[in-house]
Amino acid sequence: MKETEMVICRCEEVTYKELVETAAKYNCTARELKLRTRAGMGYCGGRSCRSMVDRIASTPLQNQNKTSVSLKYQPPIRPISFANLGGDDK
């Protein structure tokens, strides 16, 4: 397997090559790279690929937009039954 074919985001099947090409083409921040490629938007919520997406999108501080919004990560959501919420064990 070539380095460019390596899958970075397993949940959304985003490759290293796709991330690098998108970052270069659009000069993306980490947040924009996530939105354009869906890396970090899968079931794990970016736990496995967050650091790589951040590194690929990193630019020198003098070139970063001062108003850019940082990349948001949140834990995966797990289903819960209404019985567990209400406390009734019927």
Q: What are the structural domains, with CATH classification, of the chain?
A: 3-60+71-86 (1.10.10)
pLDDT category of residue 86 using cuts at 50, 70 and 90: confident
Scanning the structure block, which residue is given the tokens 């850019």?
68
Q: What is the pLDDT of residue 60?
A: 46
Q: Where are the beta strands (DSSP E) in the chain?
A: 7-9, 14-15
Residue 6 confidence class, pLDDT cut points 50, 70, 90: very high
pTM of the complete model beyond 0.85: no
- The answer to whether 11 touches 43, Cβ cutoff 8 Å, is yes
Average pLDDT over residues 75-90: 67
Scanning the structure block, which residue is given the tokens 């970075």?
Answer: 8
The pLDDT tens digits of the residues spanning 9-61 come to 999 999 999 999 999 999 888 889 999 999 988 888 888 888 899 999 875 44
Cα–Cα distance, 1 to 10 (Å, whole number) = 16
